[in-house]
Structure 1
Amino acid sequence: MMKKITLGLIAIFAFSLTAVAQEINWVTLEQALELQKKEPKKIFMDVYTNWCGPCKMLDKNTFQNPDVATYVNEHYYAVKFNAEGNEEVTYKDQTFKNPNYDAAKANRRNSSHEFSRYLKVQAYPTMVFFDEEGGFISPITGYLKPQQLELYLKLFQSDKHKEMTSQEQFNEYFKSFTPTFKE
């Protein structure tokens, strides 16, 4: 009996370690830019708001997916940015704030952060991709399931987007893409 309990506890412990290992390692933008200096990787930024339902679905259904978490952690520095938050952000020697932030509205619609306006984010969620030097690549707007996000993660990570000069080329990539992430 004791042996079964011990084995059960070991299995639970191993499962909890696996679950922790499969979470995305979120950092701040400043941390990601510093990390790039030591080990160049692209940056994947989740631009969200506290009141956004699809943002919460993205956290629960997509970012918790083990395939997504593993791929993002391996190939990107992941950043979460509250588009209506009060965080000060420095990017390309420019400091961005949210001067009209209202703490009383922290979980409701609030003032848009200067950095989200700089990135031209107009809807939530938006995922923004940056290159290995912190240069802006592209925003992708809307809730995406793991396999939908996989397409963009692999497109930008591989730099295939640089070869695409038309919507037709992207459409061809989209049609021929075979996802490997589990839903």
Structure 2
Amino acid sequence: MIAMCVHIWITKLRMMRKKIIYIVALLSIIVFLGIFNKPEIANAIGNDERANLETQVNFIENSWTSAVEKAKKEHKYIFVDAYAVWCGPCKLLKTTTFRDRKIAEYFNKNFVNLSLDMEKGDGAKLSEKWEIEAYPTLLIVDPEGRVISGHVGFITATDLLKFGQDPKIK
């Protein structure tokens, strides 16, 4: 008799534990949906994404032809980020210098920005033409592909702004 009572009691505890787990899971989902369904949070998330786009240099990726067409149409020089995928300083440029607000505003306004992997496609051809020997190499070129100015190696936001504002580039 005692064994039967213990068995019934254990069975009820197991069923109760499952119900508690289901209730906690359901309440967690309701709370989660309630928090993220608020318009002010949704708008804040959207604003962060828009702000992020405004605080980074917007590059055309690996298409010399597209950059040239846009540069001719807008009467601008092309700012080239010549990189290799394995290059540590190149990655650092992308995550720091190119995400600086002043850099983004200046370069997005004054140049057509082109990011080129110099080991494939258009990059491989232009690497020979421009005689690029190290990465990163940053260039200001005209739409005909003539180099106006260049810098080899990592560069801080302050120095990149000076580079982009060089009078010989105007």
Query: What residue is the counterpart of 1:8 in the other structure?
Result: 41
Query: What residue is the counterpart of 1:95 in the other structure?
Result: none
Bigger-Rg structure (1/2) = 2
2:117 maps to a residue whose letter is N
User: Where does the alignment leave 5 or more consecutive residues of structure 1 unmatched?
Assistant: 90-112, 164-183
The one of 150, 164, 169 aligned to 1:139: 150
Counterpart CA distance in 1 for 2:127 and 2:40 is 50
Contact 1:40 1:133 in 2 (8 A): no
Contact 2:59 2:114 in 1 (8 A): yes
Counterpart CA distance in 2 for 1:138 and 1:120 is 13
Contact 2:79 2:114 in 1 (8 A): yes
Query: What residue is the counterpart of 1:161 in the other structure?
Result: 168
Counterpart CA distance in 2 for 1:52 and 1:24 is 19
Contact 1:44 1:77 in 2 (8 A): yes
Q: TM-score, normalised on structure 2?
A: 0.69
Shift of 1:82: 1.1
Secondary structure at the counterpart of residue 140 of structure 1? strand
Counterpart mapping for 1:56-95 below 5 A: 56-85=91-120, 87-88=121-122
Shift of 1:58: 0.5
- RMSD of the TM alignment (CA)? 2.4
Secondary structure at the counterpart of residue 47 of structure 2? helix
The one of 13, 20, 32 aligned to 2:53: 20
Counterpart CA distance in 1 for 2:90 and 2:122 is 21
Count of aligned pairs between the two proteins? 134
Contact 1:25 1:73 in 2 (8 A): yes
Shift of 1:114: 3.6
- Identical-pair percentage: 29
Contact 2:149 2:169 in 1 (8 A): no
User: Where does the alignment leave 5 or more consecutive residues of structure 2 unmatched?
Assistant: 1-33
Contact 1:36 1:133 in 2 (8 A): no
- Considering fraction of residues, name the structure with more helix: 2
Contact 1:32 1:43 in 2 (8 A): yes
